[in-house]
Amino acid sequence: MTLKKSTLLALFLFLGITINAQIAFHVRPTVNMKTNQSSFGTGYQMNTYNSVTNEHFTFVNRPMFLDGHIDLGINVGIQIKEKHFIEIGISSDHSSIGRSVLIHSNFNDFETGENYTSNRYSRKTVSPFYGRLSANYHNNFWNNKKGTIGFRSIAGIGFLFTGNSILLSGNYKLLINGNGNGMLGDDDYGIGTIGDNNEIQQIAPDVFITDQVSKTETYGGVTGYVKFGLGIDFSTKKDFHLFSFDISYLLSARPVQFQETRITVIDNGVETNYRYNQSSRGSGLYFTLSRRFQFYPWKPIFKDKI
């Protein structure tokens, strides 16, 4: 048998299997929210603690939080068997680094001679956005007797991509609460205080916070990830799909966001610069609301009444 005849035979066999398998195609618009994760360190030198305290303030890394951003996407799927289908999708995505600062203020009442202590709390989140490509496998493993609720497992791989980039060289060292050659230079200044105004903040009779500044960088190029989760499909008794709700966890292969914060304190004329470095892989727990629309074989939304 010649190569040409073998190719034609293989093609006919594939078409026959495809028809007998009753393959169906669909599109699925998605709306996503996620919990973001950040940590002290560069991502290659991770730290298990989430707060650093000195005599003037406490700097807190927020390890997991819901930042409120909404990401949109669309998937195209092919059902290869009754309980199995594969989807390829594209959507927006984002990473986030969260930090909180608790300032310890101490003052003396000259009339009474008593000392007073107060704490001031501030919180900030920085969230750069990315594009996300995904390829997911779904397995419908359970349905109730009425066929109105179905559960499926999800496993997938994909890529996060962005246009911005940084390079970490031997002279570019991110430190925790130390001095060093980091992202922030001597000419980088913030708004002046931890707060909403531009005034120097006095936290004790001879102690002042004179500056707070942060700088965020993102990795460019492509970062791979793996994904696993659970999906729930809701339908009517007549097999009309209403909507789906998925919970999944995405684990990125490397850090995609870096942030350095410097807080300057002058204590009795002595200036100290406190540096804190954080990173995020873009990993997190995803909550996805979606609706599947089958376009082959065509399933009309409203069936004609006879």
User: How far apart (Å, rounded) are the C-alpha atoms in residues 127 and 256?
Assistant: 11
Does residue 12 carry a pLDDT above 60?
A: no
- pLDDT at position 191: 41
Cβ atoms of 258 and 268 within 8 Å: the answer is no
Look at residue 178 and tell me whether its pLDDT is greater than 50: no
Q: What is the widest separation between alpha-carbon atoms in the chain?
A: 107
Nearest-angstrom CA–CA distance, 122 and 120: 7
Cα first-last separation, the chain: 54
User: Residue 113: left if φ>0, alpha if ψ -120 to 50, beta else—which one?
Assistant: left
Peptide bond into 255 cis (omega under 30): no
Identify the H or E element spanning 13.
helix 3-20
Assessment of whether the complete model's pTM goes beyond 0.85: no
- pLDDT at residue 305 is higher than 50: no
Residue that has been written with the tokens 């998925």 in this structure: 246
Phi, psi of 5 (to 5 degrees): -65, -35
Percent of the chain at pLDDT exceeding 90? 52
Whether the per-residue pLDDT at 281 is higher than 60: the answer is yes
pLDDT the model gives residue 198: 52
Strand arrangement, sheet containing 115-126: 51-53, 57-61, 97-108, 115-126
Residue 306 has what pLDDT?
A: 44
Average pLDDT over residues 76-80: 93
Beta strands in the chain (DSSP E): 24-37, 39-40, 51-53, 57-61, 64-66, 71-81, 84-94, 97-108, 115-126, 129-143, 149-162, 201-204, 207-218, 221-235, 241-252, 257-267, 270-280, 284-290, 293-296
Say which residue the tokens 């499909």 belong to. Answer: 233
User: To the nearest whole number, what is the mean pLDDT of the chain?
Assistant: 81
> So where are the chain's domains?
29-296
For residue 18, how far is the Cα from the chain centroid?
A: 38
- Confidence at 9, pLDDT banded by 50, 70, 90: low
Mean pLDDT of 228-252: 95
Kind of pairing between the strands at 84-94 and 71-81: antiparallel
Distances (CA, A) of 297 to 20, 25, 26, 293, 302: 13, 7, 9, 11, 15
Over 80: is that where the pLDDT of 43 sits?
no
pLDDT attached to residue 17: 45
Nearest 5°: phi and psi at 17? -65, -40
Q: What is the pLDDT of residues 111-129, one digit of tens each?
A: 776 777 778 878 888 888 8
Residues in the chain: 306
Buried/exposed 231-267: b ≥16 CB within 10 Å, e otherwise:
bebebeeeeebeebebebbbebeebbbbbbbbbbbbe
Model confidence at 180, in pLDDT bands (50, 70, 90)? Answer: very low
